[in-house]
Structure 1
Amino acid sequence: MHKEFNEKDISLTFAKGLQVLSAFDAHDRDMTVPMIAKKTNINRTVARRLILTLQHLGYLECRNHTYRLTPHILSLASGFLQGRDFGKHVTPILRTFSEKLKEAISFAMLDIDQAIYVAHSPGDSAMITQGFTVGSCLPLQATAVGRALIAFSSQEQQDHIFNHVIRVQYTEDTLTDIDDLKKEIDTIIAQGYAVVKNEFEKGVTSLAVPVLGSNKELIGALGIVGPNPKFEDGKQQEQRILSLQHCARSIAIYAG
């Protein structure tokens, strides 16, 4: 969540530069200066200067007056991933449990008002309906990993999420009422896992468990996704939950 700072202590120019980088996503991979300025609500002249700076630094490239991110952008995340031994420990753990369950497993962390995948072990690609991978962002409200993150986050974080995060109606089944969401969160806390069906994508169920540190503080959440029929067998569901919880305890040793 955003912490309040004195404006004098913050570089607004740097913040706007990050806004420009964040403007590029799956829907807007290639944008012109006017498009970026409009999306970020930054003055076109200022946006152009920021874009040229980012191009000079190697984070953007330009073709026919259209800009896109370069692979250099991944260097910004490498320190975080390497610092927590994702490649050395977390990813191999995910792979072991993914092979055991024959499911794709994703590890997500709370990123202010969304869930962001920081590690992923692929299973059957046919089960991944929207091609999510490391760096993909998901809404907190309508996904199992998102609700698991809400449920086991601090009270301060929960208050921020409930008071400020926009609740989008992704399908007719999406919970948007704040009281209904709070009841669902209470259920998740009590049972220790989250199940969300048809709320982010019709015909799709997601299952997630929290990854908690030694002091029960939230580190992240592990989730699997698949078509609804795959989650109808109660015995298999229980086995998935137990395996994910085992995986979460193993990951917590290194990811905290």
Structure 2
Amino acid sequence: MNGGPKDADTPEKDAVRTAETMFDVVQRLVENDGASLAELAAELDYAKSTVHRHLHTLADLGYVVRRDGGYHVGLRFLEIGVTARSGYRGYDLVRQKVEEIAEVTGERAQFFVEEHGKAVYLARAVGDRAVRTDPGIGSRIPLYAASAGKAILAELPEPELSDMFERMSFEPVTEHSVTDPDELRAEIEAGRERGYFFNREESLRGTHAVGVSICDPDGEVIGGLSVTGPSHRLNGDRLESEIPDLLLGAANELELNIAHM
């Protein structure tokens, strides 16, 4: 009989499980900065033969390499990552501006984009006094825990923003993280009026950040630009006036340049 529900053990389901297992292996290699076959099997609770089969396939395709007595992700992923990053409109302009801001402020500057409800580091640069504590390019943090993430949320039309709120877990990153949806909405409204957003130890203890949004000529949000520094240095007028003015000027310049690409 055609058209009925598929059995749970169909080849399609098996293929999905196989793909999920392979990505579990890759993700654990990334998180552990490499691992042995035994370590992977134990941590993932898979049979060694299953893990070995996936590692062998990944190695044959160039995505995994063996060194230092274990397995590591290969540089083939770098090719994919660079392609994904370069696909964002205005990336080269953004990267240059992030480097300029880091040099001028002496702090850490970064640019985030939203992907699957998370803020993803797309570009970053560090000044001569910068705190070097962020997880790096491609890493993800909750949108509500980043100043630039809040700036991105503020640009979303209401139906999309409400849907995003529904999908958020609102789990705290630090004890200062905003985990109440009503409080976050109030912050977003206040930030819309100011034009910039704050992160006061919400993603990392001892640091503050200021963020602004970057939009395309149609008003669609591209991402968020921010500056992060130690809370004892990024406070008062520097936090609430000097850095915001710098970022708003940078955002205006970026948006004009992107519009004329």
- CA positional deviation for 1:143: 1.9
Matched with 2:4 is: none
1:245 aligns with 2:255: no
Q: Deviations over 1:31-88 (max 9, x none)?
A: 3456556766877655443332222112112347732212221100222333447674
Q: How many residues align?
A: 249
Between the aligned partners of 1:50 and 1:14, the Cα distance in structure 2 is 10
Is the 8 Å Cα contact of residues 107 and 131 (structure 2) preserved in structure 1?
no
Q: Is 51-60 or 107-116 further displaced after alignment?
A: 51-60
Deviation of 1:250 (Å) = 3.2
Q: What's the counterpart of residue 55 of structure 2?
A: 51
The CA distance in 1 between the partners of 2:167 and 2:125, in whole Å, is 32
Matched residue SS, 2:137 = coil
Do residues 116 (structure 1) and 133 (structure 2) align?
no
* Distance of 1:64 and 1:78 partners within structure 2: 26
Q: What SS does the aligned partner of 2:72 have?
A: strand
Q: CA RMSD in A?
A: 3.3
Any idea what SS the aligned residue of 1:110 has?
strand
Aligned to 2:177: 174
Residues 96-107 of structure 1 correspond to what in structure 2 (within 5 A)?
96-107=100-111
Indicate if the aligned counterparts of 1:90 and 1:254 stay in contact, CA closer than 8 A. no
Range moving further from structure 2, 157-166 or 54-63: 157-166
The TM-score with structure 2 as length reference comes to: 0.78
Conserved? CA contact 1:84–1:254, under 8 Å: no
Which of 99, 124, 127 does residue 130 from structure 2 map onto? Answer: 127
Choose 241-250 or 204-213, whichever is displaced more. Answer: 241-250
**Structure 1: 5+ residue runs without aligned partners?**
1-7
Shift, 1:207, TM fit:
1.1
Check if 1:21 corresponds to 2:26: yes
Name the structure 1 match of 2:148.
145
Which residue number in structure 2 is paired with residue 60 of structure 1? Answer: 64
SS of alignment partner, residue 130 of structure 1: coil
**CA 1:177–1:53: 2 relative to 1, 3 Å:** same
| Alignment-mate amino acid for residue 27 of structure 2 | S
Kept in 1, the 8 Å contact 2:197–2:212? The answer is yes
Separation of aligned partners in 2, 1:178 and 1:139: 13
2:194 to 191, 195, 210: 191
Instruction: Report the CA distance shift for 1:37/1:213 in structure 2 as closer, same or farther (over 3 A).
Output: farther
Q: Does structure 1 residue 71 correspond to structure 2 residue 83?
A: no
Please identify, of 200-209 and 226-235, the stretch whose mean Cα deviation from structure 2 is larger.
226-235
- Correspondence 1:191-230 to 2 at 5 A: 191-230=194-233
SS of alignment partner, residue 207 of structure 1: strand
Q: Tell me the distance in 1 between the aligned counterparts of 2:113 and 2:91.
A: 16
SS at match of 2:172: coil
The alpha carbon displacement at 1:94 in A equals 2.4
Which protein, 1 or 2, shows the higher relative CO under an 8 Å CA cutoff with sep ≥ 6? 1
Moved more, 232-241 or 35-44: 35-44
Contact 1:86 1:119 in 2 (8 A): no
Gap regions ≥5 residues in structure 2: 1-11
Identity, % of aligned positions: 22
Q: 1:86 to 1:134 in 2, by over 3 A?
A: farther
Q: SS at the partner of 1:119?
A: strand
Determine which structure has more spread, i.e. the larger CA radius of gyration: 2
In structure 1, give the amino acid aligned to 2:248. Q
